[in-house]
Amino acid sequence: MIEAPYESLPDKKRLFSEMGDFHIQALQILVAKNILHENNGIISLAPSFYSSAIKSLLDESNNNDYEFFLELVSILNQVSVFGESGLKKRTGLMEYRYDAL
């Protein structure tokens, strides 16, 4: 029998921790492409994200779920990552008790 290493995942905290470097690299790429903006550790959409070039790219895409993703991003932007009611606690993936609020 051939092993299936991708079928067996480590526990969720370990997997989340191991993916951290990839997440950081993805964010750095989006900052470098002027899609995201970082200021004192806070990441937000860059002003250029709202340019006509981005809008036309989204309009031309074949993504039929555009409105769904727009709503999803809108909701996620309102959810805090930190603190007692943040995503870190709710998912159980990261320690939240020592977050600076």
| In the chain, domain spans | 11-51, 62-101
Side-chain half-sphere of 85: how many Cα atoms within 13 Å?
A: 3
pTM above 0.85, yes or no: no
Q: How confident is the model at residue 2, as a pLDDT?
A: 59
Helix H or strand E encompassing 91? helix 87-91
Question: Do residues 31 and 37 lie in contact, with contact meaning Cβ atoms separated by under 8 Å?
Answer: yes
Question: Do residues 71 and 64 lie in contact, with contact meaning Cβ atoms separated by under 8 Å?
Answer: no
CA–CA separation, 57 and 17 (whole Å): 33
Give the tens place of pLDDT for each residue, 10-66.
777 787 788 888 888 998 888 888 888 888 878 888 888 777 777 777 677 656 677
Higher pLDDT, residue 95 or 20: 20
